[in-house]
């Protein structure tokens, strides 16, 4: 199993290990996408910690408004979802060996 990038934080590293334990991704493209997803997961955790500390709303000179990091956290969460989907890991496939499920284009459906 490839080593996780040294740049990953706690949340990204947890995602890396979880996905690698279940799917054993080894191809260069898959590893690059996984690294991006794990980096985005680290940012989600960072933004969430700041929002939890400061609150989801802030007081400005013009009034109360949503914390600016809320939209960034939401965007990073959406990115993680898209990247996991890009890896094909958002489809539950019953199998006995590790690895990514086949792509929808390569999958012919259930056998009859």
Q: Pairing relation of β-strands 63-66 and 57-60?
A: antiparallel
The pLDDT of residue 112 is: 38
The closest alpha carbon to 83, from 26, 22, 41, belongs to 41
Q: What pLDDT score does 104 carry?
A: 56
| Predicted pLDDT at 4 | 95
Low-confidence ranges of the chain (pLDDT < 70): 92-112
Longest distance between any two alpha carbons in the chain, whole Å = 66
User: Quick one: pLDDT at residue 61?
Assistant: 93
Q: Please tell me the predicted confidence (pLDDT) of residue 90.
A: 82
pTM for this one?
0.78
Torsion of CA 65, 67, 68, 69, to 10 degrees: -160
Token pair recorded at residue 42: 């680290």
């Amino acid at each position: 199993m490839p080593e996780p990038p040294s740049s990953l934080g706690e949340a990204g590293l947890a995602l890396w290990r979880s996905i690698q334990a279940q799917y054993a991704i080894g191809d260069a493209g898959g590893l690059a996408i996984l690294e991006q997803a794990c980096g985005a997961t680290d940012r989600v955790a960072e933004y969430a910690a700041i929002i939890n500390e400061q609150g989801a709303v802030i007081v400005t000179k013009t009034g109360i408004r949503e914390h600016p990091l809320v939209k960034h956290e939401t965007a990073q969460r959406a990115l993680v979802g898209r990247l996991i989907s890009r890896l094909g890991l958002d489809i539950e496939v019953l199998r006995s060996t590790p690895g990514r499920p086949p792509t929808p284009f390569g999958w012919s459906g259930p056998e009859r």
